[in-house]
A and B are shown apart, each in its own frame.
Chain A
Amino acid sequence: MITLTVNGQMHEVEVDPDTPLLYVLRNDLELNGAKFGCGLGQCGACTVLLDDKPVFSCLVPAAALGTRKIRTIEGLPAALPAAFETEQAAQCGYCIAGMIVRAQALLERNPRPTEQEVRAHLAPSLCRCGTHMRILRAVRRAAEAMGGGVRDVAEQTP
């Protein structure tokens, strides 16, 4: 039996201690926002927040969680998801939950990042459809909506 706190709610699940957090989220808690991409910590589709830091949930064993606070796309405030929708930043959408969660961590820590900081921070999340420019626009839009804003933007939002 493992106890974990996800989006402010405590859960008890019956899983092997070496089960990756991603499997627990998707299979046991039916939180299907985080995706299984590579299962090797290379693509970022499974990204969730662990104590406010973005991690690859496919590589975090359930036994490692302890009392740490887990947040998934399902538990995030509306600003980033809304901005991604407005900018139509998703094509196939597989990477988007991870992108949003990763961007949330940055904007919470630094509401006024530079364009370069945004790009470097999002780099571990891969997108194969190529909607990167829309993703960047969505992050800029969300940063403003959250009371900050990306400094020295690379292109003006139309």
Chain B
Amino acid sequence: MARTRFAVGIALVCAAAIAAAIVFAWPPEIEKVTPPAPDSFDRYRVAEGEDLARLGNCAGCHTSDPSRPLAGGRALPTPFGTVFATNITPHPDDGIGAWSREAFGRAMRRGVARDGTHLYPAFPYDHFTRTTDQQLDALYAWLMTRRPIAGSAPQTKLDGVAGWRPAMAGWNLVFLREGAIADDPSQTPQWNRGRALVAGLAHCSSCHTPRDRFGAEDRSRRFDGAEIEGWYAPPLNASSPAVRPWTVDELYTYLRTGLGPRHAAAAGPMGGVTRALAQVPEDDVRAIAVYVASLMAAAPAALQDSPEPIDRLADAARAHPEGATLFAGACATCHEQGAPMMQQGRPHLAWGTPLHTDNARNTVAIIMKGLASPAGATGPTMPAYADMLDDRQVQELAAYLRTRFTDKPPWSDVQAAVTEVRQGEPK
């Protein structure tokens, strides 16, 4: 008798567990709504939402064609396959026009679309879960007052288990920590505000923290630097390879203008981030700078500044004569001592972090793809050398730069980095 009761008990518990798993893996659809009229939103709320959207750089992924803002389509390579950013304009069928505020909030905080399907964490809901209700209200107001644009992004089809979206429920169970993080009372309000932005909307660690084999940020290596879209997001902690200190002022200027006068210009995906941060309230950028500078407070450069740039001209020319010739013909008019651009106050090549990281990725990508001018500036751009130099020449040049402007050992990955950039180029 007792045994039967025990068996029934077990069965009930199992049934409840299965039911819970089903609810968790297949969240319910949220009823469609008629897209709310743009004038139903408070205009100050909308303006606040615009700032927040720039802090989160929504357009960085969701806009691929500038004439179709937020209409999606951008392809994000991941180890599991390509994720296509979706249309987040308020178009009722192709965008999120039929999403209620509740559906929008669930997507932002739990990574579940209006129809109940799981989103992939390429959309950083593991960070957006930190947003406040007020921030979500404002973002929703801004998004719903954009121009609705028809057209869906290509379907995302990932490989293996990841291709089965309900599996993301398991990922969320293990990796998603929902909700805001509590303020640290030992820190200033500005620091806490910076941390809330960095951990939340700005989702800095999405790029700057290495990911584990499940595609989740490795919490034990937070801000240790990581590869992203063919670039390398450098460490933002005590292992920062910068040769000069990232002070609050320097970080602020860098984040807001795309050029750190004592370091270098923002490159790759970070360029777009700085162009967005150039347009948000300066207090927000200042708070981010305060927090990020504190992360790097124990970095070598923060403890000891480099007074003079390294320039081992003779050693480099001896070790890489071909690189020296290429530099003289292709780079020197801007980057050699005394060049006009240097006299306008552009930083010395030895001050930039790319040459000092232990991989050649950013140096190679900058040479081959070039750099747009910093935010708001019409000033010099760095031309792309992919069509001017062949692969071996780029390797020679990168090796020369490393020897000339750093005291670090030669890179071992230059050839691989060149090949990777070349393969990633549009044909």
Residue ranges of A at the interface with B (Cβ–Cβ < 8 Å): 17-20, 39-42, 50-51, 53-56, 58-64, 66, 68, 116, 124
Contacts and interface: CB of A to CB of B under 8 A. Distances in A.
B334 A40 contact: yes
Max chain A C-beta neighbours (<10 A), residue from B341, B388, B393:
B388
B380 A40 contact: yes
B387 A50 contact: yes
B329 A64 contact: yes
B330 interface: yes
Contacts of A61: 325-326, 328-330
Contacts of A54: 387
Nearest to A62: B329
8 contacts: A17-B325, A19-B329, A40-B333, A40-B334, A59-B329, A59-B330, A62-B329, A64-B326
A56 B388 contact: yes
Given A40-B380, A59-B333, A60-B330, 9 more contacts: A17-B329, A41-B383, A42-B381, A42-B383, A55-B387, A60-B329, A63-B325, A63-B329, A66-B390
A56 B385 CA distance: 9
A150 B406 CA distance: 49
A143 B329 CA distance: 35
Interface in B382-404: 383, 385, 387-390, 393
A68 B326 CA distance: 16
B413 interface: no
Contact of A56 (B67, B340, B383): B383
Contacts of A62: 329
Contacts of B381: 42
Interface of B: 67, 322, 325-326, 328-330, 333-334, 340-341, 380-381, 383, 385, 387-390, 393
Contacts of B388: 50, 55-56, 59-60, 64
A35 B190 CA distance: 54
Given A50-B387, A59-B388, A64-B389, A39 B333 contact: yes
Contacts of B341: 40
A116 B68 CA distance: 13
A127 B387 CA distance: 23
A18 B330 CA distance: 8
Contacts of A20: 329
Contacts of B390: 64, 66, 68
B387 A42 contact: no
Contacts of A56: 383, 388
Contacts of B333: 39-40, 58-59
Contacts of B393: 64
A55 B381 CA distance: 15
Nearest to A52: B387
The 10 A-B pairs of least Cβ separation, nearest first, read: A61-B329, A18-B328, A18-B329, A41-B383, A53-B387, A55-B388, A18-B325, A17-B325, A63-B325, A60-B388
B70 to A, nearest CB: 19
Nearest to B385: A59
A55 B412 CA distance: 29
B343 to A, nearest CB: 13
Max chain B C-beta neighbours (<10 A), residue from A51, A56, A64, A68:
A64
A61 B329 CA distance: 5
Contacts of B322: 63
A53 B334 CA distance: 23
Contacts of A116: 67
A42 B328 CA distance: 18
A121 B67 CA distance: 16
Max chain A C-beta neighbours (<10 A), residue from B322, B329, B333:
B329
Nearest to A68: B390
Nearest to A49: B387
Nearest to B322: A63
B380 A64 contact: no
Contacts of A124: 383
A63 B324 CA distance: 11
Contacts of B334: 40
Nearest to A58: B333
A118 to B, nearest CB: 15
A64 B330 contact: yes
Contacts of A53: 387
Contacts of A63: 322, 325-326, 329
B65 to A, nearest CB: 9
Nearest to A124: B383
A62 B325 CA distance: 9
A19 B390 CA distance: 17
A56 B329 CA distance: 12
A53 B384 CA distance: 12
Contacts of B383: 41-42, 56, 59, 124
B217 to A, nearest CB: 36
